[in-house]
Amino acid sequence: MRFSVPQFIERESKIVGPLTFKQFLYVGFAATILFVLYFAIPFILFTILAVAITGGALLLAFLRVGGRSLPIVAQNFLTFFASSKIYLWKKKEIPPKFI
């Protein structure tokens, strides 16, 4: 009997149109912030902030570095610099063999 083998297991499912849930959250959160800022601050300041916030949200949602998303790359970057980088080699003690 033949069985179908699942492929592309690492791929996230598309929840909202062509976007995954994480991508939708990044874009939706940025849109919500921009909506509030539109009514709260002057238009010229809003325009400057809108470009920065939209660019950041699009980078977080869609940029992939080496096959990994930008939030994962940023997390790995911060973890690398926060952890110690000293490795001390310790020789394993091999028990003596009895013949």
Q: Is residue 90 part of a domain?
A: no
pLDDT value of residue 46? 98
What pLDDT, in 10s, does the model give residues 23-81? 999 999 999 999 999 999 999 999 999 999 999 999 999 999 998 999 999 999 999 99
Let me know how long the chain is. Answer: 99
Domain contains 86: no
pTM > 0.75: no
Residue 37 covered by a domain:
yes
Among residues 36, 38, 11, 37, which one has the least CA distance to residue 23?
Answer: 11
Q: What is the pLDDT of residue 75?
A: 95
**30 is in which domain, residue-wise?**
20-81
Query: Using DSSP, how many helices (H) and how many strands (E) does the chain show?
Result: 3, 4
- Would residue 88 count as lying in a domain? no
Instruction: Say if 66 falls within a structural domain.
Output: yes
Residue 29 contacts residue 57 (beta carbons within 8 Å)? yes
The answer to the question of residue 97 being in a domain is: no
- The SS3 call for residue 41 is coil
In the chain, the number of structural domains is 1
Residue 11 belongs to some domain of the structure = no
pLDDT score for 98: 79
Question: Taking the C-alpha atoms of 34, 40, 41 and 47 in order, what is their torsion angle to the nearest 10 degrees?
Answer: 20
Task: Answer whether residue 43 is part of any domain.
Answer: yes
